[in-house]
């Protein structure tokens, strides 16, 4: 693919001027594809309209060129076309840079959102870790308390006596019964120990 020297479009089929070495598509060259093919060997010496115009002005018998070189409309147009051909890719680069800037801006916003979420997760994780430490400490305290309660229960039960087979009568005093039993077995049971 080449860039046309007149319209600055990328074209796949073009012909090259033998003088200025620029490529032109058939529409801008002033010759049809069939006409160009009919040139045969003369294709190698084909010149564009601009080069033909500038050569005609320097042919013998033509009026001498002016000593003060005034730019002609054709030369100005050629220079403008060259300039526009050079600026065409620049516009694409500018558009690409704008797209990249927008993408970078979106990435920054996304990155900031991710950082905020990460900070939030870190704070939550710290709260969970603190709660886990407190829970572990509380479990240890509960285990100690349960052990103490079991030990006290065992101590209290070690001094208890369970008497079976004594019938229950309404209105009887338990302390009196225990005192009588103690005197029968010759082991006095005082009310203060009960």
CATH number, domain with residue 32: 3.30.40.10
pLDDT at 129: 93
| Cβ–Cβ < 8 Å for 106, 113 | no
pLDDT means per 10 residues in the chain (194 residues)?
Answer: 85 89 87 86 86 68 51 81 82 90 95 95 95 94 95 80 76 82 82 70
Indicate the residue among 40, 61, 82 that finishes a domain. Answer: 61
Which residues form the domain of 183? Answer: 164-194
pLDDT at 84: 81
Indicate the residue among 13, 31, 61 that finishes a domain. Answer: 61
Question: Which stretches does DSSP call E strand in 1-57?
Answer: 2-3, 10-11, 15-16, 23-24
pLDDT at 27: 85
pLDDT at 70: 62
pLDDT at 57: 59
Contacts of 62 (CB under 8 A, 6+ apart): 56
Q: Provide the domain count of the chain.
A: 2
Question: What pTM was estimated for this model as a whole?
Answer: 0.35
| Cβ–Cβ < 8 Å for 45, 36 | no
β-strands 10-11, 23-24 pairing: unpaired
pLDDT at 68: 46
Q: Quick check: is 185 in a domain? A: yes
């Amino acid at each position: 693919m080449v860039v046309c020297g007149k319209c600055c479009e990328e074209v796949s089929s073009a012909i090259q001027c033998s003088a200025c070495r620029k490529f032109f598509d058939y529409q801008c060259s002033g010759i049809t594809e069939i006409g160009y093919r009919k040139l045969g060997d003369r294709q190698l010496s084909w010149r564009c309209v601009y080069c033909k115009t500038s050569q005609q002005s320097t042919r013998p018998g033509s009026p001498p060129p002016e000593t003060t070189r005034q730019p002609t409309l054709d030369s100005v147009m050629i220079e403008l076309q060259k300039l526009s051909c050079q600026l065409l890719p620049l516009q694409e680069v500018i558009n690409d840079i704008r797209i990249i800037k927008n993408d970078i801006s979106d990435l920054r916003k996304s990155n900031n959102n991710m950082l905020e979420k990460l900070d939030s997760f870190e704070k939550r994780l710290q709260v969970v870790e603190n709660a886990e430490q407190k829970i572990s400490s509380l479990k240890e305290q509960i285990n100690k308390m349960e052990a103490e309660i079991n030990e006290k229960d065992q101590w209290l039960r070690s001094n208890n006596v369970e008497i079976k087979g004594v019938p229950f009568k309404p209105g009887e005093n338990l302390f009196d019964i225990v005192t009588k039993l103690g005197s029968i077995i010759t082991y006095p049971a005082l009310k203060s120990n009960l």
